[in-house]
A and B are shown apart, each in its own frame.
Chain A
Amino acid sequence: MAKITLDALAHSYSKKPSGPGDYALKPMQHEWADGSAYALLGPSGCGKSTLLNIISGLLRPSEGRVLFGETDVTDLPTAQRNIAQVFQFPVVYDTMTVYDNLAFPLRNAGRDAGYVDARVKAIADMIGLTHRLPRKARGLGADEKQKISLGRGMVREDVNAILFDEPLTVIDPHMKWELRTQLKTLHRDFGHTMIYVTHDQTEAQTLTEQVVVMHDGEVVQMGPPVELFERPAHTFVGYFIGSPGMNVLPARVAGHVAHLGGVEIALSRRYAPAEGVEIGVRPEFVTLSEGGAGLPVKVLRVEDVGRHKIVRAEHEGRPVNAVVSEDAPIPAMADRMSFAPEAVNVYAGGWIVDGESAS
């Protein structure tokens, strides 16, 4: 087990990258703590799998270094990195039994039969495949095969890290919850460094204490879920995390006030005067009123999603949403929205602007 350092790491699939657009991964500098669990969250094509494959050594980064602890592993082949990885689609050794599949990494590592047997049985129990152990892996269903892949990833105890590349995509929802819980337990019990790639924000937030949001080849924010929720470092994080995503509106800020057209929005921090910036506020911190102060909006519809209602509205053609608790009344002629000042963030060029705290 080791801390993972990504030192000035970047990757381009083209031989001579001419601009940022040629990079699948833009230069990054990160240190991932030993024994922590990280979720790599982002839409398809944002570079999360590329990053994962670089860590496991399936791909050599075109720039920078990867370090496990203090050892530079950039040029070390995968097999020597002692790392486990589970892929999105099941990879099983068809001609082997389920038992042999699970035992394979241990046998390759030269473990003795007694240890292998104990370990395989423990893992089979964890993934619920004990009754399948003696049969051939060929002919099993996709989700059982994926469980074998998961099991093979978890069977070695001494790995530097376990990498998961959207491993629960083919698993049915009921089993997903169970396996997610198992993964959490596994992480708690053994303290492996875990990196879990997903595009499902719920999965990312429930599974790990640190979520790494990637967008267009860069890490836009890394932090605990609550931080991603309250202070998205980039408008993309605001949009990608949360349902519905953060409201983003063009504005002009000066001091404690943001100006949207003629409307003034109070801010909890002080900002240097700036034009052409954006303010972002989560729908959860929006209240609706009829007349009075606030941002004039046109309510389009109200969606009842169970525990709360989503009010879809627009301000000068831009969508603005509010989340209202189920029992809170919505004014019939609601046409104003006001924002909780401490929940309003200011963004310039997509990135958050740090204001001075009110004093």
Chain B
Amino acid sequence: MNKTVNQRAWFMVLPVLLLVAFSAVLPLMTVVNYSMQDTFGNNVFFWAGLEWFEDALRSERLQNAFGRQLMFSGIILAIEVPLGVFVALNMPKKGVWSSLVLVLMALPLLIPWNVVGTIWQIFGRVDIGLLGHAVAAMGIDYNYTQDVTSAWVTIIVMDVWHWTSLVALLAYAGLRSIPEAYYQAAKIDQASRWAVFRFIELPKMMGVLLIAILLRFMDSFMIYTEPFVVTGGGPGNATTLLSIDLVKMATGQFDLGPAAAFSLIYFLVILLMSWVFYTVMTNLDKRDAK
């Protein structure tokens, strides 16, 4: 094909460039600006160079929050992905039940984050919450405001409750796209249930599943509202995930410089992780095509 060269076409993207500049680039640059300066108030700023970044990288507080964050994302992925796939495999394939189950599954996804947090905050309370009271009545030492394990279990169960549906619905969509002939061939070939899953269902679900993992990873890595509403990052700093720590630093302590450096590192980490995911995903595709 012959392409005509027309430099004026650049003007066509100008509106988008402007929009993106105002909505993303300029705010980001403000943060970059803060991250390299220091102030003692009165709107007087001093050049600080990379000092805040060095501090942040060396700071034990940030490292701990990062560790907790990785643990949180790791645990919820390890639970939600297999559970979501399991649920999808057992969802009815057609009929009224299928629609009903789809609606039920979608419900948790429609609830706003802070409402989910509030629900679980109350649900888990030992004094008035159904869950908390029941668990405590069974003789289990459960109190998410004082006990680290209880707090972690609560925010993980809450996330699983909120987001497993997403994985399940995506996996379900992947499963529905498998032609009946594959199942028939597997029956003819006397394949076991496990072999059907391993060689038919899993390969066909792989694409949507990777998207589900990427979405859940990014989302959980940035999670703020739900654990904040339930535990407020406590007890102590036990559930202070990266976002919670960042907000504490930026608007609680008003340490704008360190917080700005922190958020840039945070941003770069997410970018890096997403890039790794993307590369792995596309390479899996390529490898399979060979």
Contact = CB atoms under 8 A, between A and B. Distances in A.
A105 B189 contact: yes
26 contacts: A56-B188, A58-B184, A78-B184, A79-B188, A79-B191, A83-B188, A85-B184, A87-B181, A87-B185, A89-B181, A93-B199, A93-B203, A95-B203, A96-B199, A104-B189, A104-B191, A104-B199, A105-B189, A108-B189, A108-B191, A108-B195, A109-B190, A135-B290, A136-B290, A139-B289, A152-B189
Interface residues of A, number: 29
A105 B190 contact: yes
Q: State the majority secondary structure of interface residues on B.
A: helix
A84 B288 contact: no
Given A78-B184, A79-B188, A108-B191, 11 more contacts: A79-B190, A79-B191, A85-B185, A93-B199, A93-B203, A94-B203, A94-B288, A96-B199, A104-B195, A104-B199, A108-B195
A89 B180 CA distance: 12
Interface string A84-122: 110101010111100000001100110000000000000
A132 to B, nearest CB: 13
Given A95-B199, A95-B288, A96-B199, A108 B192 contact: yes
Interface of B: 181-182, 184-185, 187-192, 195, 199-200, 203, 288-290
Please list the 5 inter-chain residue pairs (A to B) with the smallest Cβ-Cβ separation, ordered nearest first: A78-B187, A91-B185, A105-B189, A108-B190, A95-B203
Nearest to B204: A94
Q: State the majority secondary structure of interface residues on A.
A: loop
Nearest to A149: B185
A77 interface: yes
Nearest to B199: A93
Nearest to A96: B199
A58 B203 CA distance: 23
Contacts of A53: 184
Nearest to A159: B188
A345 to B, nearest CB: 40
A98 to B, nearest CB: 13
A136 B203 CA distance: 13
A136 B188 contact: no
A30 interface: no
Interface in A142-184: 149, 152-153
